[in-house]
A and B are shown apart, each in its own frame.
Chain A
Amino acid sequence: MDELRRYLAIVRKDLRVEFRTREILYTTTLFALLLVVIFAFAFLSDPAKSRDYGPGIVWVTVLFATTVGQNRLFDRERENDCLWALLLSPAAPSTVFLAKATAQIAFALLMQIPTILLILVFFDLRVTDPLAFVGALALGNVALGLVGTLFAAMLMNSRMKEVLLPLVTYPLFVPVVIAGVKVTAVAIGAPIAEDPEVWLRFLAGFDMIFAVVTVALFGRMVRA
């Protein structure tokens, strides 16, 4: 019960700071929208083919903008060494980790709503299977959030964090991107023979296993 209260307090703290400063949502959303515009100029030569690269654009945008936000969320904890105010409190390290990951995922999803709507409009994509479309994004974001939170926390004090974070996390994200692109392609009616359910289950499995491992690692890594 105490741990639940602590978890909620940390999440609420992050939301409160964000709605006061709006710095993460404002900057990452704007960044994501600009990425979409750039992609439009880079790829939109033949609108008939937009279903081919649409899924890729969705996931590359999600990946890039999320990584930027992940570094930002821990800038807040770096200032005044605040992450250690959490870690030195009686809260279990796993509570701290899950709360930060929750805030991380919430901000990523909020940023992605306008971004993805814009992609659908700009590239004239029609979602034929909304459940799979949303499901892949939800499950994918959990995966990005867990791994990203773990390493963003570890690299918080590193001078090289802006480049180290993607360096470390992107190899781990490759299967998430592959699965996400497949499901998204099916969900916008691209003519490929794929069973989205297999990939959704794959993403759910990834989330579960990485949740267990990242939670177990966080407390040990941060004190190493």
Chain B
Amino acid sequence: MSTYAATSWTLAAMVAAFVLSSWRFKSPELSMVVTALVGALVAGLGFPAHLFVEGTFTFLDLAFIFITACIFMNAYSEVGAMNALVRALVVRLHRRKWLLLMVLALLMLIPGALTGAGVVSVLVVGGLVAAVLRLMGLAEDRVAAFVFMLGILSAVAPPINVWAMLMAAGANMPYVGFDLVLLVPVLIIAAFTVLYLGWGAVPQSKEAILAGLPPLSPKMTWWRAAVPLAVLLALALGAKYAAFTLPTIGFPLMFLICAATTVAIDPVRRPVKRWLEVVNQTVEQVFPLVATMVSVGVLVNILAATGVRGLIAISFVALPIIGIYATSLFVCPLAQGSLGFGSAVILGTPLIFVFNAVGANVTVVAAAFSMLFALGDCLPPSRIVGRTAIETVGYKGSYGSFLKATAVPWLVMGIVALAMLIVPGRAAFLVRY
């Protein structure tokens, strides 16, 4: 049997296994692992214990980030700091709805822009932003859509865009000149998202909002509440701008330092037992995301081992340019959904060379692809930012209804990215070294 036939057969079996197991188990994590095992079996790899165990490590660092960031944010809510900040924002900006929404959008953009991870934005400020959006009259599905869209935009925003960095590294391009060509489209799409999702929302009166919020904890002032976030900002800025004088702390430890800071600023000294409860609750709450990371890693490893990854990649990059234009908006997000940042390495880097060969400005092309990959963070099997967003804002509707609310800004972002891909010369003036 040719490699094409064998890998196509394996792919078909994996798709069928995913559909069946999703229906049977109602657990996307378990379905991914079952799909991987079926793929290995059909491809003649037997029970791939080595690939299974190795695969669980693929996104381990992300799992650490999820757990520690959530511990920080739950501690932050526990001490009433989140409530204090929400109150401060409402009191100061209640009358200026659009200004408030823009401020919230910018607040969402900062953590992801500094760290390259949209999930960090969602986890760190998503809950706060969601609380204010709700009070400003946005429907629940729109709140989730807002947090998700700004989350993925924050990952695209400069200075750190991991997809562009990976593509640049693969193509031996320096990661320079990306700032404006990323920032301008991100701001345009963010402004559109704010206008689209905020349109028609009618805020309650300030008094009604404040009355509806939990009472302010004694001695919890807005500046006290700002301390842990300031620590996080300082650590992130230090890691980037004082990298030669500070040791590498890594995200998980940064979040734990911020969690410890939160405990320190707590005006009510809670017993250790209460904090242990918070940690246990957090682990249970964040587990689906952690399990997704572990499971999708197994799936990715089996996709590579069986050659299905290669089949998908070659089928896409071997298309004529016009075919790439026509399918990018589907293939790139789907690749992100299954491969995470690996999509930039597997599809992005070869595509940079394809576009380079036709004389396109590769910095603009890489920026455009990074936007297309980011769109996939709400798609299966991993749905990382999408799931994090609905978990963080506590959205109770179906995942489909969340996607429906996201559809228009998602498409606008896709169209902007496609336009940059098709006529990269028009955006080349934004490439500044």
Chains A and B form a bound pair: no
Mark B residues whose CB is within 8 Å of A. Answer: none
Mark A residues whose CB is within 8 Å of B. Answer: none
